[in-house]
Amino acid sequence: MEQAPEIPPRLRGYLKNSTSYDEMWTQDGTIQPHWQQFMKYITAMEPAEIGHTQQEMQQLLRENGVTYSTFHDEGSHSRPWQLDMIPLLIEGEEWLTVEAGLLQRACLLDMIMADLYGPRKLIREGLLPLELIYGHSGFLRPCDQVAAAGSRNIVLYAADLARGPDNRIWVLNDRTQAPSGLGYALENRMIMSRIMPWLMRSYQTHRLASFFRVLRETLSKLAPQQREFPRIVLLSPGARDEMYFEHAYLATYLGYTLVQGDDLTVRDGRVWLKSIDGLLQVDIILRRVMDTQCDPLELDKNSYLGVPGLLEAVRRGNVTVVNPVGCAVMENPGLMAFLPAIARYYLNEDLILPMVATWWCGQEREKQHVLTNIDKLAIISTLHDPKGQIVYGPLLSKRELENLKARIKMTPYAFSGREIVQFSTAPSLTGDQLEPRRAFMRSFLVAGDQGYTVMRGGLARSVPEQTKKEIRNGGNPITKDTWILSSKPQEHISLWKQESLESLIRQQSSLPSRTAENLYWVGRYAERVETTARLLRTTLSSLADRDSYSDDATENASLRALLQTTTQLTGTLPGFVGDDALERLQKPEEELLSIIIDPKRVGSLSSSINAFLRGAFSVRERWSFDTWRIINDMEEHWKKAYRKNSNNIFRLHTELNQLITSMVAFTGLTMESMTREAGWRMLDMGRRIERALLLITLFRATVSASHEARVEYVLLEALLATCESLITYRRRYRSALHLEGVLELALLDEVNPRSLAYQIGTLRQHVDQLPRQRIPSRLDEDERLILDVSTALKLAQASELSRVSLDGTMHTELEELLIHLESSLEKLSVVINRTFFRHAADRRQLVKTLLEVEL
């Protein structure tokens, strides 16, 4: 008799803790054949090797910015994306059955969708209760009788799956509005292919790229009037949405323009993208916005995420929305109770994939069953309340159960009961230990020419056995990659079609006005962070020197001037120049610490860093992977520095050095990697305007007033160090510091990239290349302003600017020039904002609705 193979020690504890059907174990306690190779690899790994691999995975995820992220005024709040290094393995033969069931289900739901917004035969013939559909908030009456652009109503579909107690894959939920998870599934696969490519190849795992190719081809064919090269945008709720990473990731991967509701406008029954080149017609919208938020004019008037008038443009056939608005009705949990009968009605088939047993309480017999077994069921609202949660009967007290029963009896059509099923577990690594966790998977489908295409993979997650509190809050899921195994090697599939060079056509690029504005302010805040950090570093060095020369009047005077310059540059008034300044000047450490690390103080270094990060995250799709890695590293390092050195100001000197290095790396990479198109121009314009304004502030704070020679020397050295021009000055002049030489180098030298003249010259080039709609013989306001600034600088002479006034207190001509330049540059910023970033007024409801008048 053949002896069963010995179970490795690491798997014995796993087998002991496994309490139900498990993906890896057979019923007789042996490892499933398709899991054996992977488990052999895992069990052979030493704990240190497992830890290193997990750390490498998290590092890759962090560098790519894979998070659930939201941004607030105080900064960012991100939940790191958790990926298990053990995937969910599904045999190819079993997957064929699952795939057939998903294809059947997608077709069925598509037919139901067409009927509910069309003839409604299912309601007329009693296959669907009227209350179940009309009582559900996902049924949108403004969408009635609106025909889909293509042959399918549901273009993208996702199903939540799990293995039931009968060892079959069950369907738990249908996702039809804006199915999320595509981007995360792709990112998980990218990470796994980096970590264990040899295992993926040995398992002959199906690739995901073919699915995304079908998605691109499908969308391109849905354009109204069958335009050959349609403009496709991905509509996102914005950077404050927790799924924003996925929206940016998909837009970048698919090559679509990422937009928000404010980027689009409806005029003459068409949807237009507000870009810096004017209005560009949009043909297809791949939306990540929920149904009711898509059009505040006809749906939720409080929504700022959608596009007013969008539904009218859809009715006229001038734009295609994927998925069509109104799909939320297909996510009604009560609908699952009627799908078997509808499948026999439409397809003359039974459903291939089983579902969790569901009872809609709008039917008397089903209601009584739910009331009788309420302590064993999960109760779900069928009114589609976004804030509603599943109520688990076994977790309720007797009083809570009675209250729930009363609510069901009062409005039975608003509730469904669902069987509570213990689904299978799958192995997960927690630390270096294997743990059985409940496994769930989301699979995706897209409609194509020949029907639906199923992604041979998906987004899986595992959840531990949960306490009462964890069940209410959704537990602590860890995601997994899903490997659909094949019996033959998988060919490399590119997202892009392989076409002849003769068919290569360059599409017109478009820069949304909001994106242009964000890039502009990213440039400004990047420059503000770098310059502020440089000045603070110089000030801290001077402060450290004062401890040794506390009786030196020159040191004290120069330090006082540097501290006052810090307040003026950052705008953190009153600081070292306002009320009680004398006390703060004598003991500046606390004030300096606040200027550096207080994120709630406007103008502080931390506040500027947070503003930079918010702007950078808002245009996530514009950065290369290396650029994003720099942004992530900077954020992570600064957070650690804040926690470690929040009470020791002199240790922050090293952190300032690291911050400056990160900002220089960001600037250098964007200069070298971004094409010289509108996006880069807006980013660089922001940098140049901010650097020019900061230079003017530095000059006014340090050398506009006349100082004693030794104090002036220290201030000139600090100014050049802050402007990164000290070494250049020493090499060029090889003499002591003189104001005239500093003005020549840092103010008027057109070949010094750190000088004011260089910023103005570069700005003038950018302004000349901005899109225009004017009479050729006339200058626009921004052109007149930059010409005025440029001319004033060209006419200036360093020898005249360095003259001291008759009373010996000011360099009057220098101060007057700086004031004029500052005023003109601030006006230029306002004009750029008004001309290129604001193509439409803010939304306002001009009249009250009848309901509001009655209220």
pLDDT score at 548: 47
Tell me which residue range forms the domain holding 747.
Answer: 708-837
Tell me phi and psi for residue 9, to 5 degrees: -55, -40
Residue 179 lies in a domain: no
Quote the strand ranges of 653-703, DSSP E.
none
pLDDT score at 172: 94
Same domain, 634 and 535: yes
Tokens matching residue 443:
């699979």
Same domain, 642 and 724: no
Same domain, 640 and 755: no
pLDDT score at 35: 92
Report the largest interatomic distance among the alpha carbons of the chain, rounded to a whole angstrom: 112
Same domain, 630 and 751: no
Distance CA 558, CA 561 (A): 5
Q: Which residues of the chain have pLDDT under 70?
A: 1-10, 16-20, 67-79, 149-150, 384-389, 465-476, 490-509, 546-552, 554, 645-646, 774-775, 838-855
Same domain, 722 and 831: yes
Residue 591 lies in a domain: yes
540 burial type by CB count under 10 A (0-12 exposed, 13-18 middle, 19+ buried): buried
pLDDT score at 855: 36
Q: Are 439 and 478 in contact (CB under 8 A)?
A: no
Same domain, 743 and 829: yes
Amino acid code (one letter) for 337: A
What is this structure's pTM? 0.88
Residue 504 lies in a domain: no
Same domain, 638 and 780: no
Same domain, 719 and 789: yes
At 655 the three-state DSSP class reads: helix
pLDDT score at 846: 43
pLDDT score at 430: 82
Residues paired with 322 in a beta bridge: 286
pLDDT score at 431: 79
Q: Name the strands in the sheet holding 278-281, side by side, starting at the edge strand that comes first in the sequence.
A: 264-267, 270-275, 278-281
Distance CA 828, CA 686 (A): 11
Taking phi over 0 as left and psi of -120 to 50 as alpha, with beta for the rest, 269 belongs to left
pLDDT score at 474: 47
Query: Of the residues 623, 658, 674, which one is the last residue of a structural domain?
Result: 674
Amino acid code (one letter) for 818: L
Residue 493 lies in a domain: no
Closest residue by Cα to residue 396 from 410, 407, 387, 385: 407
Same domain, 729 and 797: yes
Residue 484 lies in a domain: no
Q: Are 267 and 279 in contact (CB under 8 A)?
A: yes
Same domain, 670 and 726: no
Distance CA 731, CA 245 (A): 47
pLDDT score at 507: 58
* Per-residue model confidence as pLDDT tens digits over 443-502: 999 998 889 999 999 999 998 865 444 444 445 578 999 999 988 776 666 555 555 444
pLDDT score at 19: 65
At 646 the three-state DSSP class reads: coil
Same domain, 562 and 663: yes
Q: Are 277 and 771 in contact (CB under 8 A)?
A: yes
Same domain, 668 and 539: yes
Question: How many structural domains does the chain have?
Answer: 2
* Per-residue model confidence as pLDDT tens digits over 741-774: 999 999 999 999 999 999 999 999 999 999 887 6
Q: Are 231 and 257 in contact (CB under 8 A)?
A: yes
Measured from the Cβ of residue 488, the count of other Cβ atoms closer than 10 Å reads 7
Residue 626 lies in a domain: yes
pLDDT score at 379: 93
Task: State the virtual CA torsion across 105, 108, 114, 120 in degrees, nearest 10.
Answer: -130
Tokens matching residue 158:
């996702």
pLDDT score at 845: 45
Residue 478 lies in a domain: no
Tell me phi and psi for residue 75, to 5 degrees: 140, -150
Distance CA 666, CA 669 (A): 5
pLDDT score at 495: 56
Residue 569 lies in a domain: yes
